[in-house]
Amino acid sequence: MAGLPRGARRGIVVRRNAKRRARYALRIYPEGKFMSAHGQNVGKRGEDIAAAYLEAAGYRILCRNYRFGRLELDMICHAAPAASGALPGQREIVFVEVKTRSGFGFGRPEEAVSDTKKRRIAQAAQAWLRERRMEQAPCRFDVVAVVLRKNGEPVVTHFKQAFWVS
């Protein structure tokens, strides 16, 4: 693990900001990327808001934060019966990627779903379906974008059928 800061093998690195003389924790992910505790809190809060939004819209959440190796799905739901294009008696499975931002400095949340991210979501979805022997079930991929405002209600935008996988 050459090149990683001291303590990186344990997963948490504490760094000191010389200008502010403050300490902050960074979480190290297997790919070697860092995420601050603030970023983790924003993401968790956004997922909670998205879950409440989807439940209010009639979706039934089956699973949150499903992991398959290094791959992760934020949410897996059954679609609301009225919104589903599935056959009668069959509910569509929706794989939801939640993106949260506290501002637009890094662009809109939905713009952060890259082609690589889409492929990884599709691989994790395929694994989830295979584990449950549901490969033939109707499914789709949605993105829920959450923008947290400092002094107001969060703005939630739901992109149904945000992308297709071939």
Separation of alpha carbons 122 and 96, rounded Å: 11
pTM of the model: 0.73
Q: Where are the domains of the chain?
A: 1-32, 38-163
How confident is the model over 89-114, as pLDDT tens digits?
Answer: 668 999 999 999 988 888 899 999 99
How confident is the model over 155-164, as pLDDT tens digits?
Answer: 999 999 999 8
In terms of phi and psi (left: phi > 0; alpha: psi -120 to 50; beta: otherwise), the region of 77 is beta
Around Cβ 31, how many Cβ atoms within 10 Å? 6
At which residue do the structure tokens 């799905």 appear? Answer: 73
Q: Say which amino acid occupies 99.
A: K
Does domain 38-163 bear CATH number 3.30.1180.20? no
Phi, psi of 148, rounded to the nearest 5 degrees: -90, 125
Longest dimension (CA), the chain: 62
